[in-house]
Structure 1
């Protein structure tokens, strides 16, 4: 399924282990040496050696280029059985290695994992963990609470493997459906108040497997839906719980066909209320505050340690006195009091959870808007309700897994989006990340990855904005003045980043949003004055050299939309000539037929009407250029069509080819008229 997008996945971080030495220094080596040695150690009689080999492999596969090689060496077949190893520590690190392999290896490696039957031991492990949480007695040698913690950690790694593979391979989703995995993961989710990490992993997995999976929907019982209800309406407001609630809201949205029609207004309101709450938060401010809190906490901890040291001399604790330290570490090391304090990444985890929640919320809104809209006459006007907390008692619990009437999108979603000010919140998220927050993160290696997350949120918000602008009524967006302000805002974003075309994700997202907005404004005859002709050409000249086809298509389309508006105005002759020459150049020289087709379409729009356009077309010799290009275009479609383009793209190109013929005929009549 190459069409599906795959975003960066969180990975497993194995603890200290002798394998670290083996995994180091592998940069630049192919899959021999350390990889072969570690794979051999997976068969070792000593559990400790097997555990360290798994941890070493978990590190090794984080170098993406090594994943295919490890897959070829049958790492999957060797790691699979270790998911059911007698040692809990081996189970956890084996699951961690498979988690990283599935996260870093992408579609091909996940496909290979399913072919090599990793699902059989994985499902068996998930079932055993579920039973272990019930009995609390998987191993009599360990304390019950320690054992429970260990079982939950293994379950967390296993659920992450399941999530990654199900996202990439439909066969894995079939296994999920048939093997009763839903019941197991819902049981893990029900423990959200004691283990939010495990619950978040399950919620990510559920959001993936409930998408376009009618078979699974039949398995949802009223009890299962009540588990989702309690997680979604949890009163806890920490940022990790906010992420959990957002993911569960996305799952509930995927299950919308289970909701009885009388409760549909409430479900929309409940889901959007959570998304609005998440988007309300200022991520930049949060980064600044959380970093300050971390600095203060570490300073206090250091002062406390110093006082204790001064009072007692070096207060040292041996490893074997510490329950927290895994039994495996033979070499005793001296542990200062500060090592027993809570981990230093507490604030970082909270901030990361908020950023993930915001990204997820924006993705859910795009999915909501891209669901198939019912036709106008099927739209049902439902009363909007803010009573979201009460809805599930009367709706989710009573549906009992029955497939009921599908949810009506339309007016209800439009109204609820507006009631919660979601379009406004999305526009706020399109701004560049807070510069103070970016500065703070850039100076701290552990926080540096958050810069990428903040940039991703900006791009998701721009994509979300594009969707809303295309679908919502102008009134729901605040009318003509709001659209003009928005166009101004987008062009300011664009021109405040002169090198925008180098940042492909940003360039594609902002050009898509601007294209959709200008299209809407043109169709409603709303005046467009967000860019001067010079700025317009600057944008197009920068964007047309981008390697991303989407960016090139967008800038050409923007030129077509703006040019067709200018063609109806007086005094635009020179600008139309510039636009015409540029579009001709793109149509005849771009390596992609999709971009060339879009440039031809733009030419048809710009020169279809108006006195200024007629004069400009004669000046730039548009007719002779297109006549010359017509046979070349037809030949390219014939030669490259089937091998390079999808059926849908070929359909569009055939349409462009037909319109080119008609446009040439039209231009011939203009030339005759003007020359007579």
Structure 2
């Protein structure tokens, strides 16, 4: 690698007007200190029960108007774009290099300019520079493409894949490996500046590969075919001699590649030294978390690395004998001790207050002042905002991995709190963690709560998760004083709700007596609703926004909580109407099913005072049995829920069953349900499972009608 850094932007500025030249000069002077702000987003999309994958970018820009005209009218750097694109293809390598630098910086927190550059084929032009004869141009082109990936997300990554970016990237892997081996073996022999360039270049290449892996299954398979496991593991195994940011990027890429990807999983699991290395990284988390040094960003990256090691190990599990890890309870002994302190110590209110203080006293915009001397380092405001963002991304990463843990909770650990060793890090004490809900501290303490049998997850993580779903003033604010923070806060709320949804659905399916603690169930229910009230009206949320996602996932939490405490959640009129409105507004059957599930569990409240809510819910569900009005899954869930609601003819709800002539309505719906089940295509994705479930609902409905008729009531 050539490591001589060119001294200036040369003639790239000569073709710009004065205003554009000032803007580009600001960007160029700030290039090397700003690059690390474009750190890997830590927003690795995890598969959820809602919509699959999140947007892997710092600030989603789906709300922006489409088209080149809109981009031109909203960008204040329009005049700088065409000369920069032209200079990327210049015969002068100095101009090519600094044009790449300019692209990298013009897009920083500026999606309008990025979209304008996209319209000028900046992606294809930069990919062409990856085979440039000058290696410095290659380095800067890779940096610009990396930043485009992070800021642009799926759209740009798909364009890169379609324009065959993997071809030049594949040639870099052996070159980086060879140079890396030399630097690790003889670090003194290589100048520090040379090592820095190589490490940054490696990080850029790895991050592009990571982002491409998030784009589509086709791109994921293509990246997997590069056989990157030894390459990526070489960074992790040499982590004490390499920059932490580069190592963490390698871990993030490996984390993504090993998720539900058998070829890569098998390759990584086959070499036991890989597992040993990952275990060593995960087990160092206590030392990392106890360190309180000046390099806060570095500490956060070290914690993130431990979290990623946990995620990779979980992706590689299960491990079979004779592997020593085969006998280890991975979740309890390795993963939860790493994740629990990160999640429990997070304070979104503190993060919000810090951003407010930093932005209200910001000097971040002072560089834009014409003819002002531009510093070659980050301002205190930038450093502070970056630190907040890094901490939030670390929490989000921990939650994403915890989502999988919550989906496979262990069996209830009876008496675990009484028998656990005080030194057992798996029972991390969060008893002092306050609820972030108004009035929560004023609620009476249930003296029996600590004696209730429940999975060890509950005393460890329930309170922190309930705190993390509570919105702050910046969570959904548009425009935001710091968009990356707002984006991260929204993503944390979504991830925390996903954890709770998986946890309570798993708890509802497990045997145990958690439902006997009525106070606990009502408290969780009210806390979730407090968060939803803070999130605002779901009907006013843009589709795909964090606010809409919070509502769509939260109904799954409500369903799970209601399933654990069936018949014990007091229905409130406003909540019933909100769930009905949400169900009516959503076209996705999966979300509607969850809405119906949440309605059904509160309709079963065994108290005469809840008969009005029962009647309203039953009437609504009967309306969903009309053919053509709803999807098959929605119809099946409505039928199943009505059977559950009126399963006990001795319950107070029997009055509504008779007064509403529910039996006749259900009997009339039998043929419609039969036709709906018959129409399910087994060959479609999920069709076989849906067919099986539909047949069960159909048979149960027929049996229920027959039984009710036999009672003669």
In the TM superposition, residue 256 of structure 1 has moved relative to its aligned partner by 4.2
In the TM superposition, residue 158 of structure 1 has moved relative to its aligned partner by 1.0
1:46 paired residue number? 92
Q: Secondary structure at the match of 2:522?
A: helix
Query: Distance in 1 between the 2:90 and 2:684 partners?
Result: 49
Flag structure 2 segments of 5+ consecutive residues without an equivalent: 1-45, 60-67, 185-189, 293-298, 414-418, 427-453, 541-546
State which of 132, 141, 147 in structure 2 corresponds to 1:85.
132
Matches for 1:416-565 after TM superposition, within 5 Å: 417=457, 421-433=460-472, 435=473, 445=481, 447-472=482-507, 479-495=517-533, 499-502=537-540, 503-522=547-566, 528-532=568-572, 534-547=573-586, 548-565=588-605
Q: Does the 8 A contact of 1:152 with 1:198 survive in 2?
A: yes
State which of 684, 700, 709 in structure 2 corresponds to 1:659.
700
1:330 paired residue number? none
Q: Secondary structure at the match of 1:6?
A: coil
Distance 1:50 1:477, change over 3 A: farther
Matches for 1:374-385 after TM superposition, within 5 Å: none
Matches for 1:60-459 after TM superposition, within 5 Å: 79-80=126-127, 82-99=129-146, 117-135=164-182, 144-169=191-216, 179-189=226-236, 190-191=238-239, 195-212=243-260, 213=262, 214-222=265-273, 225-226=276-277, 229-230=280-281, 233=284, 235=288, 236=291, 238-258=299-319, 260-261=324-325, 264-265=328-329, 268-279=332-343, 280-289=345-354, 292=357, 336=373, 338-340=375-377, 344-371=381-408, 417=457, 421-433=460-472, 435=473, 445=481, 447-459=482-494
Distance 1:94 1:651, change over 3 A: farther
Distance 1:626 1:388, change over 3 A: closer
Flag structure 1 segments of 5+ consecutive residues without an equivalent: 13-21, 138-142, 306-332, 377-381, 390-413
Matches for 1:579-598 after TM superposition, within 5 Å: 579-588=617-626, 590-598=629-637
Superposition RMSD in Å: 4.8
The TM-score, its normalising length taken from structure 2, stands at 0.68
In the TM superposition, residue 518 of structure 1 has moved relative to its aligned partner by 0.8
In the TM superposition, residue 106 of structure 1 has moved relative to its aligned partner by 6.4
After TM superposition, the structure 1 stretch with the greater mean CA deviation from structure 2, 500-509 or 258-267, is 258-267
Q: Does the 8 A contact of 2:515 with 2:565 survive in 1?
A: no
Which structure has the bigger radius of gyration? Answer: 1
Query: Distance in 2 between the 1:193 and 1:618 partners?
Result: 75
In the TM superposition, residue 96 of structure 1 has moved relative to its aligned partner by 4.1
After TM superposition, the structure 1 stretch with the greater mean CA deviation from structure 2, 656-665 or 33-42, is 33-42
Query: Distance in 1 between the 2:231 and 2:211 partners?
Result: 17
Distance 1:122 1:24, change over 3 A: farther
Query: Distance in 2 between the 1:444 and 1:563 partners?
Result: 40
Q: Secondary structure at the match of 1:149?
A: helix
2:52 paired residue number? 5
Distance 1:127 1:63, change over 3 A: farther
Q: Does the 8 A contact of 1:11 with 1:100 survive in 2?
A: no
Query: Distance in 2 between the 1:272 and 1:222 partners?
Result: 23
Q: Does the 8 A contact of 1:560 with 1:605 survive in 2?
A: yes
Query: Distance in 2 between the 1:163 and 1:67 partners?
Result: 25
Q: Does the 8 A contact of 2:56 with 2:214 survive in 1?
A: no
Q: Secondary structure at the match of 2:625?
A: helix
In the TM superposition, residue 355 of structure 1 has moved relative to its aligned partner by 0.9
Q: Does the 8 A contact of 1:62 with 1:100 survive in 2?
A: no
Query: Distance in 2 between the 1:114 and 1:177 partners?
Result: 14
In the TM superposition, residue 480 of structure 1 has moved relative to its aligned partner by 4.4
**1:618-652 deviation per Cα after TM superposition (whole angstroms, max 9, x unaligned):** 33233443444444444455567579874133332
State which of 578, 596, 604 in structure 1 corresponds to 2:616.
578
Q: Does the 8 A contact of 1:192 with 1:198 survive in 2?
A: no
